[in-house]
Amino acid sequence: MNFREIRESHSGIPYNGSFCGLGNLLRKPLNFIIVLASAERRNQVRDPGVAGEKILVMDMEQPARRELLELLEQRGFHPTEASTGKEALRRLQEGDYAVVLVNPNMQGGLTVEEMVDQMIQLKPEQSIIVTASPGSDEATAAMGRGAYSAVRKPIQPAELEIAVRNAVERYHLLQANARLHEENLQDDLTGVLNRRGMDQYLEEEIERSRRYKHPFSVLFFDLDQLKAVNDQYGHLSGSRVLIEVVGVIRIKLRRIDKIFRFGGDEFTVTLPETDQKGAVGTGHRLREAIRSHRFRPVEGAEASLTASFGVATYPEDGTNGEALLRHADEAMYLIKTGTRDGVGVKERP
């Protein structure tokens, strides 16, 4: 699922395509005819797939935050608190939350629209509930940016549970839709995203970097001696090594970084919030990780490999995905045709 599809399903704007005929369900809050007594009965028999999900509560007012935490815990949810927008964004980077409850009356430099934007960019599938009257200016502004729904204050326990349960169910639907979509973007051998997935992700990440004026870098790398491994042990051994390479690289990456299989023994790594200097440093760490690892092409045998890396940074080296990849590939080629086992930076005009 790309960001456009996710964002449209958040905001309620129609888009082409649906999941199992549930397009309308994803485009607006789930509608149920429920009496309050039914919510109380559900307190006693809970669906672990719903109640077991993590909920993030973002409110600068401690009494209101504590009240929400207690209500959610009483109903079997697992809430975590954040007192500022910055803390909430950090928690979203570190963990997966099905639902985020946000007080729109924030301080500290971020408007509720900016907060919702950044939350959706980090975790598109999550459902954002604004703790404000549904028809208020704050709720309307937040929902216009992609928030899922709103609950009025003072919080009514039964209303809160209904809103959160609907939001969790929606989160599950979007996750399932994303998994189906990702199957077409996944490399069958290594399990990472393929070239098609990379092209899609690059454009979305470049747009985010453009909007927020943040740096973004790409590493392009190629294994130096894989042909020798194939010649000695056979092509199936080479496939085994490629799977190992992905494992070695993933351990060294941050949560927000991604690795893609470009094709053959070529890979790309995307580095959000990273300038050229940071990308070069990351390239050397990944290069050293490959160099020091002992690969097992077949049972009982070991092989050593090196890799040549190239670096490109937005916007200095390119303003779209194709330009960045071309620049990183050319930087890598400078190393590949020279010393190998290095990180290349192509001189800018």
Q: What is the pLDDT of residues 96-154, one digit of tens each?
A: 899 999 998 865 667 888 889 999 988 888 999 999 988 888 899 899 989 999 999 88
What is the DSSP code (8-state) at residue 12? T
- 112, 158, 115, 152: which is closest to 136 by C-alpha? 152
The backbone torsions φ and ψ at residue 260, rounded to the nearest 5 degrees and listed phi first, read: -130, 145
**CATH architecture entry for 3-183:** 3-Layer(aba) Sandwich (3.40)
The CATH class that applies to domain 195-345 reads alpha beta
Domain layout of the chain by residue ranges: 3-183, 195-345
pTM of the model: 0.53
Helix axes 137-144, 112-122, angle to 10 degrees: 30
Map residue 259 onto helix, strand or coil. strand
Q: How confident is the model at residue 344 (pLDDT cuts 50, 70, 90)?
A: very high
Give the chain's largest Cα–Cα span.
74
pLDDT for the residue 272:
95
